[in-house]
Amino acid sequence: FPTSVYDSYWNDPTGIVAQPQPVISDPVTSLIFPTNLTDPANFPKSDTIDPYPLPLPQKPSQLLQQAAAQIQSIATNPAPSNDTCPQCQGSLFIAKRLVPAAPEQWPFLAQAVFEYFEHSTTRHDEHSRLALDHVFTQVAALGDMGGYDGQVSLVCL
């Protein structure tokens, strides 16, 4: 075994009885770390403790309810002028956050948007009948709904 790799070892690296166990030290403070750091017999085999636990994912229906509540809040607050495009743009921005997490919820959110902004329900029925929900799902997911893509008059309701 090449003994020149480390300055010193906890055991004799030339013997074949045990694995070489180098003495590890901090180069800045010269602090020597404990022997169990390189001890192969006491090395933890399965560390099941997650150091950064993440919250459990929400159900798609919960995400839809939260997005619909936010859009309803936008729709019920009066627009500063007769222009409802900022309200629509804000709603599309919320939809953009929902679509990647729960794309199957887009048709339900679109129906809620039509109801909240008091558009005819036949418009949503027309989109559903033409099978455009998957297209609008991709537009909402990939477009810059808070920016220029959300300002196009064809996107605004």
Chain segment 116-147, per-residue pLDDT in tens: 877 666 665 666 655 677 777 787 778 777 77
The pLDDT of residue 69 is: 94
How far apart (Å, rounded) are the C-alpha atoms in residues 150 and 155? 6
The pLDDT of residue 53 is: 82
The residue-averaged pLDDT of 69-76 equals 88
Contact 63, 81 (CB under 8 A): no
The pLDDT of residue 70 is: 92
How far apart (Å, rounded) are the C-alpha atoms in residues 54 and 67? 21
Degrees, nearest 5: CA angle 91-95-99: 175
Across 30-34, 74-78, 140-144, the highest mean pLDDT is recorded for: 30-34
The model's pLDDT over 79-122, given as tens digits with 9 standing for 90+, comes to 676 777 778 788 888 888 888 888 888 888 888 877 787 766 66
Report the percent of the chain where pLDDT is more than 90.
9
Taking 80 as the threshold, does the pLDDT of residue 61 lie above it?
Answer: yes
How far apart (Å, rounded) are the C-alpha atoms in residues 153 and 157? 8
The model's pLDDT over 42-51, given as tens digits with 9 standing for 90+, comes to 766 777 777 7
CB neighbourhood size of 52 (10 A): 4
List CB contacts of 50: < 8 A, sequence separation 6 or more. none
Instruction: Write down the residue that tokens 């679509």 correspond to.
Output: 99
Instruction: Write down the residue that tokens 């953009």 correspond to.
Output: 96
Token pair of 127 as six digits: 């989109």
How far apart (Å, rounded) are the C-alpha atoms in residues 39 and 151? 63
Taking 60 as the threshold, does the pLDDT of residue 66 lie above it?
Answer: yes
Ordered by start, the domain boundaries in the chain are 1-42, 60-151
The residue-averaged pLDDT of 4-23 equals 76
